[in-house]
Amino acid sequence: MLDMTPVKVAERKALRINPCKTCQPVGAMYCALGVRSCMPHSHGSQGCCSYHRTVLSRHFKEPAIASSSSFTEGASVFGGRSNVSTAVKNVFDIYAPDIIAIHTTCLSETIGDDVKSYIMDMEIPEGKQVVHCNTPSYVGSHINGFSNMMMGFMDYLIDPADGSAAGKTALFPGWVNPGDVREIKRIAGLMGAECICFPDHSGVLDAPMTGKYELYPDGGTTLPEIRALGGCSQLIALGEITSAPPAQLLTKKWHVPEVLLPTPVGVAFTDRYILALRQCTKREVPRALEEQRGQLVDLMLDAHAYTSGKTAAIFGDPDIVIGMTSLCLEMGLVPKYVITGTPREEFGVKVNALFDAYHVTGCRAKANADLFELHQWIKNEPVDLLIGSTYGKQIAKAEDIPFVRVGFPVLDRYGGTLLPVVGYVGGIRMAEKITDALMDRRDRDAADEDLEIVM
């Protein structure tokens, strides 16, 4: 007989096994791709840049453009000033972007390259821009890199004298897919809010097939829009982990009043986003949104017999995981294990607050965790459902658990980046996927006579 005695899971501080994250430059590169006519630039080796582009391209199924300082042994010892200066000149001459967004890597960070001073000494063509941020790969996660790149754009570009955004709302969507950005902007439009969305990946990493490749698609936040952010009347920042640092910077440095909200996944979190928009515009919630909310609630009620009391393990990027935890609780599921690889302790505080609000016990939330640890928890106490990125599929396979893919990266499915997770529409989609996964497992395991009752 197999020994089913639970195995004690040791705490590890200096080792990660099967990480639940990737490195900062990936986030910086993704952020930069949300700016129109921008070339992300990796200040490090070609191998780093290629890996980061590959991760993004495999998730979005679209080319993730980027250039590199192409470090060799000489640059690694003596510094990359010559490499990045030559690279910037070549990129402007050959690829003609409006702006180059430089992010560092572990190599350039370790040798201490002062990229800001390098930029000050560059001969930048008139009308062009170069910005940078520091993104050491060995600190934080891709979420931190995304936030740092946002702040890099803001520090370099925002013009406090630019009053063109007066009366507009700055909108930070956080780390979400292009389909989510479209839904976030659609809701804002229905509420009558005139917004500057930054960064905006819609129209870039979900650009349509036209038969002609465009290096710089028409989507993305424009440079004039970023310059005007400091003059916005208010800021709605979505994603309490990802968007908090850039939101605080916009408030502290340019005195734009902020509202920091969770990523609007599910009923309650979407309600909070719409109420914040209503506060800005003073308009009533349109019937179209009320109908979609009612449809989501109705779906949850209809499916309740199959979701109530089921246990789930949720992992991935912190803001999406917090949102999915809220949605699962609304559906009656018990989120037994909730983890992220991003080292932000606020994550645990926010997830535990959700546990308390819904009066669930015996659940565990942890930041800076990895998938090996999650797998050990599941081995000791199994769950009914696994929710997260593609990196969890080996756990699902090994433990024979239904698996719903969501978050970043999803490498082995298509179309997910075009469809929203956020808003009532995204909630309907995710509620359907969760219910279908549980019912498919029931169909597989139930006796034929039991299935006849449901058919």
Tell me the C-alpha distance between 161 and 86, whole Å.
Answer: 33
Instruction: State whether 86 and 190 are in the same domain.
Output: no
Instruction: State whether 174 and 150 are in the same domain.
Output: no
Instruction: State whether 148 and 227 are in the same domain.
Output: no
**β-strand partners of 221:** 35
Instruction: State whether 153 and 221 are in the same domain.
Output: no
Say if 330 falls within a structural domain.
yes
Specify the pTM.
0.94
84-128: pLDDT as tens digits: 999 999 999 999 999 999 999 998 999 999 999 999 999 999 999
Residue 210: CB atoms within 10 A of its CB come to: 8
Tell me the C-alpha distance between 366 and 370, whole Å.
Answer: 9
Residue 276: CB atoms within 10 A of its CB come to: 22
296-320: pLDDT as tens digits: 999 999 999 999 999 999 999 999 9
Q: How many domains does the chain have?
A: 3
| Burial readout 363-376 (b: 16 or more C-beta within 10 A, e: otherwise) | bbbbbbbbbbbbbe
Angle at 61 between CA 57 and CA 62, to 5 degrees: 70
Instruction: State whether 235 and 369 are in the same domain.
Output: no
DSSP state string for 109-157? HHHT--HHHHHHHS-PPTT-EEEEE---TTSS-HHHHHHHHHHHHHHHH
Sign of CA dihedral 356, 362, 367, 371: negative
Q: Output the pLDDT for position 2.
A: 47
Q: Are 237 and 172 in contact (CB under 8 A)?
A: yes
64-74: pLDDT as tens digits: 999 999 998 87
Tell me the C-alpha distance between 367 and 149, whole Å.
Answer: 22
pLDDT band at 13 (very low <50, low <70, confident <90, very high): confident
Tell me the C-alpha distance between 200 and 197, whole Å.
Answer: 6
Instruction: State whether 223 and 335 are in the same domain.
Output: no
Q: Are 118 and 84 in contact (CB under 8 A)?
A: yes
Tell me which residue range forms the domain holding 60.
Answer: 24-157
